[in-house]
Amino acid sequence: MSVLLLTHRACLHHDPGPHHPECPDRLRSVLKALDAGEFVDLIRDQAPLATVEQLTRVHPENYVSAILAIRPEPDETVALDGDTVMSWGSAEAALRAAGASIAAVDAVMKGEFRRAFCATRPPGHHCEPARPMGFCLFANAAIAARHAQAVHGARRVAIVDFDVHHGNGTQACFEADGSIFYGSSHQWPLYPGTGDAAEHGVGNILNVPLPPGADGEAFRAAWVDHIIPAVEAFAPDLLVISAGFDAHAADPLAQLRVREVDFAYLTEALCALADRCCEGRVVSMLEGGYDLEALGRSTAAHVRALMRA
């Protein structure tokens, strides 16, 4: 089976303003990289709009209503905090990003595809249940996991996160719920200041912090020696990947030294893990990555590995 690629033009209309690192050109770079001839076999589809019901499996209804009510004029923006900004197109973009994660889960859980990748923005892993944060408006990976449980009967879902920043939002959604596993490698110290190795939730959280300057070998070891064995022991029915590429050596917001080959290696290892424990079901979604050229190359390496595995 081929890999499903979900995206939507509306995700380009979320514009936090000039010089903001989470810019529309990030998605343009990703889509340009995936337009290469080697990706002709990707099955491409439009990301639907998430519904309020789907969002409120994770977020309180008053939070969802408040975010969707923010509709600035085309030449204006609204700052939710020092990093997180909404423009006229942000609400729809956020609904499409969450909707992509839901559609990807539907396709994979129904057996239509074994793997799916969501090329959308804004990202999601910093968004807490009732707090936008770190460029994120809705917790897309968390929404995907809850949808798999509510609609497809998944008993356990594992979310794994290789973004250079800890996914504090995803962890906050599930740290008291043993039916969801969250595993993350990330640079420490670094924004948002969470993700200490001592944070275990109810035994369902595994954080593997990496020091500034850690290279691909250390990155691989975090996963092969720690996170992948823990996911396998958890035995999920679905594997969700928060695929951030800002651990790349060229990224301006962090200091790890990971390369495209390391992202490809990890993707293949995660697909092999999924083959062993959840019939190969993998849903991956774009998180960070702020050097445009490195982001395009790294995403291509990730999707190439999804297709090959």
The predicted structure's pLDDT at residue 95: 99
pLDDT higher than 70, residue 122? yes
Burial of 40 (0-12, 13-18, 19+ CB in 10 A): exposed
Give percent of the chain with pLDDT exceeding 70.
100
Mean pLDDT of 45-71: 98
Kindly report the average pLDDT of the chain as a whole number: 98
Residue 85 belongs to domain with CATH number = 3.40.800.20
Q: What percentage of the chain has pLDDT greater than the value 90?
A: 99
Q: Which residues are catalytic?
A: 126
Tell me the sheet residues that pair with 78.
86
pLDDT for residue 244 is more than 80? yes
Helix (H) or strand (E) holding 39: none
Task: Provide the pLDDT for residue 107.
Answer: 98
Would you tell me how many other CB atoms lie within 10 Å of the CB of residue 44? 13
On the question of pLDDT at 1 being above 70, the answer is no
pLDDT score recorded for residue 160: 99
- Asked whether the beta carbons of 222 and 230 are under 8 A apart, the reply is no
Total number of domains in the chain: 1
Q: Average pLDDT in the 180-190 region?
A: 99
Q: Which of 102, 105, 121, 124 is nearest to 113 (CA)?
A: 105
Does 134 score more than 90 pLDDT?
Answer: yes
309 confidence band (pLDDT: 50, 70, 90):
confident
Mean pLDDT along residues 21-43: 97
Q: What pLDDT, on the 0 to 100 scale, is given for residue 61? A: 98
pTM of full prediction above 0.95: yes
CA atoms within 13 A on the CB side of 103: 23
215: confidence class by pLDDT, cuts 50, 70, 90: very high
Residue 171 lies in domain: 4-308
pLDDT at 162 over 70: yes
